[in-house]
Structure formats: structure tokens, C-alpha cells
Structure 1
Amino acid sequence: MQRRFFIPVIFFLLFLFACQKKSCNTLPNIVFIVVDDLGYSDVGYMNHKPEIQTPNIDQLAYGGMVFTDAYAVAPVCSPTRASLMTGKYPATLKLTCHIPGMGMEKYLAKLSKGQKLKEAYFLDHLPDEEVTFAELLKQKGFTTAYIGKWHLGGEGSVYTKDGIVNAAYHPDKQGFDVNIGGCAYGQPKSYFDPYKNGTIKDRREGEYLTDRLGDEAVQFIAHNKEKPFFLSLATYTVHTPLSAPAETIEKYDGNPYFAMIEKLDENVGKVMDKLKEMDLLDNTVVFFYSDNGGLWGNPPLKGKKGTLNEGGIRVPLIVSWPGKIKPGSKCAVPVTTVDFFPTFLALAGGTPSDHVQLEGKSLLPVMYGTGAIQERAIYWHFPHHRKEGLSMGAAIREGDWKLIEEFESDELYLYNLKDDLSEAYNLANQYPEKRDELLSKLEKWQKKVDAEMPEINEDYK
């Protein structure tokens, strides 16, 4: 009798010991690294800029899945970040442009001056009533952390001493247990300590911000290794002002941008090393992404940040999960920001179809290689002026075809991206039926989401 009782107790104690040695989470941890302004070609594995060295990011790519046709839902940062949080398109949210540090009134007047169309209306923060994926993950038992740039916290941050316009708009009010660095800033007041950021405690004068955020991410992983966690590491780098430690800049003959990318890569490696040290790699899915196209050239793509051409919206995306995602795999399915929320929810054991507000699709079937995403159109609505190139317009991609509608000139641009990735040949007149089909779908979608449209500028001459 005692023997029958003793043996199950032994097995139970061994189980508890094993759980202490290695997490017994049935749900995976999720690490989402989103870089600010990192271009499509600004990673080593793309082999377009030989000066760029990103061994840690490259290792993620070789060990996981590279999405070759990944997009940001906007060519600037705040709309992409709001869409990521909510699973909704920026046009649905009414948050279609970057939230201006100079203040909304001043920004709208500046950008509308001399233009036929005025800047369309957009919100200056993520409304509290929006449901974020972090809130749902917390309900599933996840500990959640937001470390880095938020840029959804109100307009006019340049006039603050610490980047805080309204703390009620911060990540900790949107489902995150931890917020380090997330405020109204769209770019750091300083890349070196003292940071002048009210959500980061200064620690060591001269410390580099990218290193500090990497340290905070590592500490969060170490403190939460026994239960499922969601970690968002949202680097301020590689956004302007271009700034990096002097010794790193010297390695690149004075190029601060390449130096910033090296520091980014170092801290990606730091996070991955900690996951390995904690024996968490097999139970952690890691995403690597950028919030919009790069500002310093994106070969072979046309355009850059702020434009609706591929260079402004096509971005790096890697997903890595040892044992679940085939190493060295590639996916050419067009995916975009609204797809992350349903993917996170599915990873947490939820059912995305239960949340009718979501406008994207879970990526799990293509990540696992078990299925596909039904062909669909994806959309951009950017009724805003930018100096970088083709903007103030909207776009749609379906299959290999992409249409851009420019509001200011009423011009239409049609491209077949399979044959013309660089968007060198406008086929709008050559294929009028395809042009009109895509334009009709775009306009129906704009009407469906009640997209804000630009108005005639009465001061235009």
C-alpha cells in the first residue's frame, strides 16, 4: 500500500524538478522586435548593401522563415504601430499619419501649405477604447512588456522635457505590465544617457539607448522565464538623429547609419543569447520586423519612407521558432501589419475569428507549412503629403498586381510586381481592365472603413 503511494509521489516530484529546470509552459513565449525605419535592404541576408553587417539578424533568417513580401500598413511609423496593437487598418482607426512632435496644428499648416489638397484628419493617440492584443494575451495568462518606442501618446512631444504628453496614452494603459521607454516621442531626445525620457530611469551617463533597451529586454526575460510572456522590443534606432558610439562609427568610416545597424544587431543577439541561456529557445517564437521603409535607399525597390512605392512600405520580416518553423524557409505570400494580432492570438490558444474587429489573417498556417492564406487584397490609405516622393494617396495589392492612386494629381499607377519589382513601368494604360478592377476594390474598401479623405485647400494658388 505504501509502495503504491510512494511511486506516484516520486514521479510527481521529478516532474516538479523538471519544470524548475525547464519551463513547463504549454503556451509559447512571444518576442516581437520592431525596428524604426529599417529598410528592406538594410539587413545582411538581403545582400544588397555589402557594408551592412548583421550576423545575429542573419542567423535568425537562416534559422527561421523570411517573408519576402512583407509590408507595413503605412509608410510612416505611428499608423503601423497603432495597427499592430489593434489588428485594424490605419484608415479604420483614423490614425493614418505619424503623430507630430511639433504639434498637430503647426504640422497640418506646414504640410498643407502650397498644396491643392489639405492634410486629412487623423488622431493624435491610440484611443483607450481600442482593444489591444496585449489585453487579450494578459487574459490568457501572459506577462507583457513594452520596451522602446511607442509614439502613440499625443502630439507636441518636442515641447516636453520628458516625452510625456499624457501618461494615460502609454503602453501600461493598453495591456502591458511593463513600460520602459514608451511615451509620445517619435525619436529620442538623446541616444545617450541622460535620455530625457520620463519612462526610462537614467542609469549611467553616456550609455547608449539601444544597448539600454536590450539590457531591459534581457532582464525581463530572466525575471519571467517560468511563465508565458510577450516581449515587445521596439527600438528607437535606426530613426534620426543618426547617432551611435564613436568607436562603432569609426568602424564604418564615419557612417553613423551603418553603426546604428551594428548596435541593433548586437542587441538582437543579446536577446537571443539570453533565450538560449534560459533554455527558452524551443518555446519562444521570435518576430523581427520594421515599421516602415528605410529613409536611405532600399534597392532594388523604388522610393523610401513616406512613399507608397515599395521602398516606403515593403519591409524585412523574419519569424523564428526552432522545431516549429523550417530553417531557411521563405514565404512569398503578401502579408502586412494587421496579420500580427490574429497570429499572436492564435499562438496564445485563442480564436481570431471570435474577434470580428480584426482585419488580418493568422500567419500560423504559412509559418508551420501546413496551409496557406487565401489570396486577398491588402490596402494602404495615406492622405498626407511627404517630400520624399509619391504620397497623398492610397494603394492596393492583390496577387502580383499593385495600384497606386495619387490624390493630388488624380494619377493612377499600375505595376506587376512579379515582373517589375522596381516599379519602373506604369501599366495603367496598357491594362485598363485590371486598373479599373483594382481601383473599384480600393474605393469600396475606403467606403467600407469610412476612410478620411483630403479636402480642397482654399488657400491653394
Structure 2
Amino acid sequence: MYNTCINSPLQVVCLLLFFSLNCFSQDSTSNEIKPNIVFIIVDDLGYSDVEYMNQKEGIKTPNINKLTKTGMQFTDAYAAAPVCSPTRASIVAGKSPASVKITCHIPGMGMDKYLKKLNQGKRLKEATFLDHLPQEEITIAEALKIQGYATAYIGKWHLGGEGSIYTEDGIVNPKFNPDHQGFDVNIGGCAYGQPASYFSPYKNGTITDGPTGEYLTDRLGDEAINFIEQNKDRPFFLNLATYTVHTPLAAPDKIIEEHDGNTYFAMIEKLDQNVGKVMNTLADLNLLENTIVVFYSDNGGLWGNLPLKGKKGTLNEGGIRVPMVVNWKGKIKAGSVCNTPVSSVDFFPTFIELAGGISSAYPKLEGSSMVSLFNGKKNIGERPLYWHFPHHRKEGLSMGAAIRKGKWKYIIAFETEKEFLYNLDEDIAEQNNVLDTYPNKAKELAYNLRAWQREVDAEMPIENEDFKK
């Protein structure tokens, strides 16, 4: 059920033969020009860290606001994990973090040091996880290249090996970087989970230094524009993965002053400016009507996610529900809102369908195409979404697993063995654990969650022999 690799020439032939038969809408033809795909993924941007949410006074994101006014806002968009590396792996591979065996952020301090620190004083040891994306995984970039796309990865990768802080340039093994995973262009993508510096010199072996003091977010935006301009006459897939707004918090002094010393809000404004630069370039090149733009975050924010409970690193909504906007001039209704729950595992099948390919050629994919949602049709159905996070975090409810199906969300905490059941339609802030009121619903979801964990062969935590009761 979950085999995603292309194991025979026949599958490749099938892809090439049938890609033209699968277009964006039913009335599309095989002669339709393939749409460009611009996927903007922000690091650690919280659910309410955008102006259109009206939750935090002082945040200014006019360009992102415009995306919602001219496109579709997703209210129930999720990351497949409450931290970055697993979500990024789920996007690139189209599989859950549990399946791809990257369930936690890949530690810059090194795996041994990380595990020793996090397991200390805990009843359970963290489950094992990989420190890079295996090269045998078929990536979305490789799949789109079959469809004739130029591909670029610009920005944070964080799937390239452990121990990046001990390197001089963020490269643990160059074979782990995006240019060995189907991307024609790699600028900025290495093992770093956060930048060595937000200002040039960057100490990043995959990006040349600019003028002293050049701001990284601006530089990545400029590189994105260069790629668009160079590939304007052919289909392209641009993955712009900003390092912002991850710590260490840093922004140009002038912008910080304009926000009364709030560096985080200044970083968000610089992010917004560069989203605007990309959109303006698409407009200037007359590409908006043939380019779908997705704006998304890899996990919850660290600085509050009202009205949600929790933050990055937790299985509460604040750790996994993220802002998401999809924009496509003339194809997606302006100002529309979608309340259907979607997840990062859905991007791979979505992009394949948009490109004219067939997802069934990649039978290990665990998500569903969102194309019908863009059309205003909600036919994905009430499917379950899963999270498996067998890792300790200091921010809140972690070391556990969760399932959402419809309005119901069930969480099991492995360390404490506590269970939680929430009705998200009535309690988006997860204030009322209704486990005792609806025990049968909790048992049903717990059963479904365990069955899924067995199906994907999820790595589980083990007893910590050093724990003293």
C-alpha cells in the first residue's frame, strides 16, 4: 500500500504516457500549458503570526494579506510534525515522518549529544530516527522533473545530516543536499537547521556571500526572482524555504526600529516584503495566470499561536496547525476560505496532479490531492490525519501521538500515558478534555491510531534503564 519508489521502467513509461491526461480541471486539455508551482515554506511561522489573522497587533504582512484576498485561505492546515525536519521530509517524500523515519528535527549538536540531553531524567528514551533524507526516496522534485519541470530549492533544507554546528559551512555530506534529490538548483540548502548568520558572510557552503551586511531573507528572495526570470519560458517548480523566522532573531536595524524594538515582527515584515517581490515578478512576467503559489509554515510558532493552545514542539494545535494560503489567478476564487483539514503529506500528490502526472505511479504516497479543494469542491472526505512524535520537548505536550478525524482529535502521551480527546469544532483552544464524556470515540480513535502506527512501522520509544523512579 505504501510503496513510493519507481522500481521498474514500466512505471516510468506510464508516467510519460499518461501525464498529459491528468490536468487541473475536467475541461482541461492535454495541450494546456503546465502550471508553474511556487511553494513558499516559512520556518517556525505561527498560526497567528500573519496580519490577516487579526491576533497580534503590530504585525504587518500586506503582501501575504493580498494572497488571501486574491486566493484561498486554509483554516485547518497542518504540519505533519510539530518540528521542522519531519515536516520537510513529509513534503519532499509525500510520506508521513513515521514512514520516512525522520520524526524529529535533525540535531545540529549531533545525535548522541542530543539524545543524552533529551533522555535525561525521562522514563522513556526517544525513538530512533534518521539524520538525513535517504537518497532512495523518490522526491517531489524528481517526480516533477519527469513532467518536464525545472526545479530549484532555495533556502533551508535541514535534511542533510547531524552535527551541522561543528562544520564550517553547514555541509555534513554534500550527497544529502537538495541537488542530489532532484533539484536542478540548490542555493542555501544544507544541514543547517538555522542560519549561522542572517547577514553576509553566511558561512553556508551552498550560497555565495554577498556584500557585507546583506540580509539572508532578501538574498533568498532575490535568488528566487532570478530563477523565475531564467525559467519563465518553461514549467518550473520553485521551493522557496526561508530560514526566517527561526532563531536567532535578527533583522536590519531600521526595520527593528520601525517595530519599536520587536525583532520578531521585523523579521515577519522582511518575509512579507520578499513574498511581495516574488509575486510582483510573476506579475511583471505575465505568469500569474499560469502559476500556483502556496504559502505555508513548517510547524507552529514559538511566540504564541492564539487562539490555539501550545507552540512549536507540542502535539496541541499550536504546534501543528499552521497558516496556509493558495493563490492562482483566474483558477482559485478570490477571497475564498477552505475549512477542510489538510496536511503537508498532501503537497506531493497535489503538485503531481497539477503537473499532469498520476499519483498512482507513486503508491507509497500517504496524502490526498487538494486540487478539488482549489476548485471549490470538498470531496477529500472525512479522512484521518496522524501525528507520531516519540520525542521529548520542553515546550509542552510531546512524546506522543495524535489523530484528527472530522471534529475529533485524540492525543496519547507516551511518557505519562495520559489521553486527551477534544472536539475542535467547539473547542479549538483544547481547553476541555472530553475523554470521560465520549469514551467510545476515544477508543475508536486510539484503535485507528495504533493500526496506522503498525502499518507504517512507526519507531517507538523504549524504557530508559537510567531512569530512577
TM-score, normalisation: structure 1: 0.94
Instruction: Give the residue type in structure 2 aligned to 1:160.
Output: T
How far apart are the structure 2 equivalents of 1:204 and 1:178? 22
Residue equivalent to 1:359: 366
Q: Tell whether the 8 Å contact from 2:39 to 2:240 is kept in structure 1 after alignment.
A: yes
* Alpha-carbon distance in structure 1 between the residues aligned to 2:382 and 2:400: 24
Q: 1:378 aligns with which of 385, 395, 417?
A: 385
Following superposition, the deviation at residue 371 of structure 1 comes to: 4.6
- Partner residue, 2:94: 87
Larger Cα Rg: Structure 1 or Structure 2?
A: 1
Matching residue's letter, 1:433: N
1:291 maps to 298
Instruction: Look up the match of 2:4.
Output: none
Q: Equivalent residue for 1:210?
A: 217
Deviation of residue 353 (structure 1)?
Answer: 2.4
Matches of 1:255 and 1:25 in 2, distance apart?
47
Deviation at 1:354, TM superposition (A): 2.7
Cα–Cα, structure 1 residues 274 and 389, in superposed 2: closer, same or farther, change >3 Å? same
1:417 match: 424
Tell me the equivalent position of 2:229. Answer: 222
SS at match of 2:410: strand
Equivalent residue, structure 2, for 1:32: 39
Counterpart amino acid of 1:36? D
Gaps of 5+ in 2: 1-30
Q: Residue 167 of structure 1 aligns to which amino acid in structure 2?
A: P
Matched, 1:237 2:254: no
Query: How far does the alpha carbon of each residue in 1:96-144 deviate from its partner, in whole angstroms, 9 at most, with x for none?
Result: 0000000000000100000000011000000000000100101111000
Q: CA deviation at 1:387?
A: 0.1
| Aligned partner of residue 179 in structure 1, secondary structure | strand
- Hey, what's the Cα distance between the residues in 1 that align with 2:252 and 2:402? 39
Matched, 1:301 2:308: yes
Match 1:315 to one of 318, 322, 326:
322
Q: Deviations over 1:270-322 (max 9, x none)?
A: 00000001110000000000000000000000000000000000000100001
Q: Identify which of 351, 357, 372 aligns with 1:350.
A: 357
- The equivalent of 1:276 in structure 2 is 283
Shift of 1:246: 0.5
Aligned AA for 2:300? G
Letter in 2 for 1:271: V
Map residues 158-177 of structure 1 onto 2, 5 A cutoff.
158-177=165-184
Q: How far off its partner does 1:368 sit? A: 1.0
Are the equivalent residues in 2 in contact too, given 1:25–1:227 (CA < 8 A)? no
Structure 2 distance, partners of 1:317, 1:115, is 35
Deviation at 1:326, TM superposition (A): 0.3
Listed as ranges, the matches of 1:92-111 within 5 Å are: 92-111=99-118
Aligned to 2:10: none
Assess if the C-alpha contact under 8 Å between 2:38 and 2:239 holds in 1.
yes
2:8 equivalent in structure 1: none
Moved over 6 A (4+): none
Given that 2:157 and 2:190 are in contact with CA atoms closer than 8 Å, whether structure 1 keeps it comes out as yes
Cα distance per residue 1:244-274 (max 9 Å; x no partner)? 0001000111110000000000000000000
Residue in structure 1 matched with residue 441 of structure 2 by the alignment: 434
**1:25 offset after TM fit, Å?**
7.0
Contact 1:65 1:330 in 2 (8 A): yes
Q: What is the identity, as a one-letter code, of the residue corresponding to 1:439?
A: A
**How much is the aligned-residue C-alpha RMSD, in angstroms?**
0.8
Stretch deviating more after TM superposition (365-374 or 44-53): 365-374
* Structure 1 residues 84 and 457: CA distance shift in structure 2, 3 A: same
Aligned residue in 2 for 1:324: 331
TM-score (norm 2): 0.93
Matched, 1:253 2:252: no
* 1:187 partnered with 2:194: yes
- Where 1:339 maps in the other structure, the secondary structure is helix
CA distance in 2, matches of 1:241, 1:317: 24
Q: Which amino acid aligns with 1:293?
A: G
Aligned length: 438
**1:372: Cα distance to partner?**
1.7
CA contact (8 A) 2:340 2:378 kept: no
Task: Quote the residue 1:117 is aligned against.
Answer: 124
Q: For residue 19 of structure 1, what is the aligned residue in structure 2?
A: none
Alignment pair present for 1:395 and 2:402: yes
Secondary structure at 2:403 match in 1? strand
